[in-house]
Amino acid sequence: MLLPSLYALHEDGLIAEDLRIVGTARSDLDDDRFRALALEALNTYLPDDRKDEAKIASFLAHLQYQPLDASTLEGFDALAAKIGDITGGLSIFLSTAPFLFEPTIKGLKAAGLTGANVRIGLEKPLGNDLTSSAVINDAVASAFSEDQIFRIDHYLGKETVQNLMALRFANMMFEPLWNANGIDHVEITVSETVGLEGRHGFYDSTGALRDMVQNHMLQLLALTAMEAPADFDATSVRDEKVKVLRSLRPVAADEMVRGQYDAGAVSGGAVESYKNDLGEDSDTETFVALKAHVDNWRWQGVPFYLRTGKRLSERRSEIIIQFKSVPHNIFAGRGGKLNANRLVIRLQPEEYVRLQVMAKKPGMDRDGVVLREVPLDLSLTQAFAKARRRIAYERLLLDLIDGDPTLFVRRDEVEAQWRWIDAIRQVWADENIATKPYGSGSWGPSASIALTERDGVTWHE
């Protein structure tokens, strides 16, 4: 993700000619070997139409490498020497195991790599509960002020996620209905077809709740539910998001489902169970469904159903806004049946916004009026066909380099997210809520269907 994103920025002339990118990790590489590794990554991950040999060569010239064992202070001076003069600014992108955050910050500080003109981007996982995330955040705060800290949630770099704000706040027609008077419920689905993807240790100690809900899904929920910020700037947007996150009601035991994939078939191919993929027994959830409530005036009585999982039927991220029914059906006497309006915001793989509206089927209506749901489609892929689709990290890395924190997560947001997630895990522990098996290639355990059906709601599939 990172090297192809940086390359794409370079290809478009969006990063300065004299920008130097210094990679550092434990592996004992030199500049040339790092460049060879980068070249291999670019060849593997860049789409063919973006491979421009001359530009790849000039991009590789930006790259340098310094080996470093971040667990000890030794070595940071050599890193600082390699980086050289930072009076023109330095952006650090830290992607490492949680236990290395503290020593890394200490090392950076000792080597003089934490001044006022230094920014730091932090990649998850930033801890695995409120307490451990506070330890990391405190460590970072000992060397950087909050406005120098850029916590990454790559969902915020996705074009359609930003479009959610444009849809809500750049149009008049949705907002008057965007509340408990107009909306019956909201669904947020992030389904994946992939399984463990070789991340055994990390995933098994994390699970779907902490891997996906704690960050990406709660950010989607916050953007869907927040009040209109006064400005599109970092403080205003994040102030509104955090209010939503703090209004989340603790989830009750009968409002949550944990699942784990069994063997099955995904995209036409047979796949193994999670336990087989992992090579041992485990009760880690690869699926979670929740009924969430935002306890404020706007959302009183409107459930937010969330679900995410691996090895599901298809890869899809979407937000469904289910509006209420009209107060009276004037067509009922003539047999006309109505469905309530539904707004489908598809984030991926396709990018579109679709409003389902009722329309009359053409005809003489002698046997009654026939009304049908028809989509009002706004395909972002088609409407902006010429605009390049970017990897989320391109936008975020550029914002980090430019110093714009609007699309990064502030500490109070992260803490509100963890507080809510920790309470869910506490219920799992107190009530011994075990995972329910689901066949790979399905939409999760049947309990997830029951979670909505008992409210008369069917997941949008």
Residues of this chain that interact with ligand BG6 (CB under 6 A) are 192, 211, 317
CA-to-CA distance for 331 and 264, rounded, in angstroms?
A: 46
Neighbours of 44 (CB within 10 A): 8
- Which C-beta is closer to ligand BG6: that of 138 or that of 197? 197
CB 211, min distance to ligand BG6, A? 5
Beta-carbon contacts of 18 under 8 Å, excluding residues fewer than 6 positions away, are: none
- Which C-beta is closer to ligand BG6: that of 24 or that of 286? 286
Beta bridge partners of 404: none
CB 68, min distance to ligand BG6, A? 24
Measured between alpha carbons, how far is residue 183 from residues 225, 301, 347, 351 in Å? 11, 10, 20, 23
Q: Which residue is it, tokens 């390699």? A: 82
CB 193, min distance to ligand BG6, A? 10
- The token duo for 277 is 């993929």
CB 249, min distance to ligand BG6, A? 25
- Which C-beta is closer to ligand BG6: that of 211 or that of 351? 211
- Which C-beta is closer to ligand BG6: that of 211 or that of 394? 211
- Which C-beta is closer to ligand BG6: that of 273 or that of 341? 273
Q: C-alpha dihedral over 381, 385, 387, 392, to 10 degrees?
A: 20
To the query of whether residue 185 is one of the catalytic residues in this protein, the response is no
- The token duo for 206 is 């994390």
CB 412, min distance to ligand BG6, A? 21
Q: Position 188: which residue type?
A: I
440-449: b (≥16 Cβ within 10 Å) or e: bbbbbbebbb
Q: Output the residue with the shortest Cβ distance to ligand BG6.
A: 211
Burial grade of 41 (CB within 10 A; 0-12, 13-18, 19 or more): middle
419 and 287 in contact (C-beta within 8 Å)? no
Catalytic residue among 10, 154, 185, 216: 216
Give 259-283 as a DSSP string.
EEEEEEEETTEEE--HHHHHTS---
CB 187, min distance to ligand BG6, A? 17
- Which C-beta is closer to ligand BG6: that of 109 or that of 315? 315
The helix (run of H) or strand (run of E) holding residue 372 is: strand 371-379
Strand ranges, E, within 27-68: 63-67
CA-to-CA distance for 307 and 190, rounded, in angstroms?
A: 7
- Which C-beta is closer to ligand BG6: that of 108 or that of 221? 221
Q: Name the maximum alpha-carbon separation found in the chain.
A: 86
- Which C-beta is closer to ligand BG6: that of 211 or that of 413? 211
CB 154, min distance to ligand BG6, A? 6
CA-to-CA distance for 374 and 114, rounded, in angstroms?
A: 56
CB 197, min distance to ligand BG6, A? 7
Q: How far apart are the first and last CA of the chain?
A: 29
CA-to-CA distance for 252 and 288, rounded, in angstroms?
A: 14
The helix (run of H) or strand (run of E) holding residue 56 is: helix 53-60
Nearest-Å Rg of the Cα atoms of the chain is 24
- Which C-beta is closer to ligand BG6: that of 20 or that of 199? 199
CA-to-CA distance for 93 and 399, rounded, in angstroms?
A: 12
CA-to-CA distance for 225 and 440, rounded, in angstroms?
A: 32
CB 286, min distance to ligand BG6, A? 10
Q: Which residues are catalytic?
A: 216
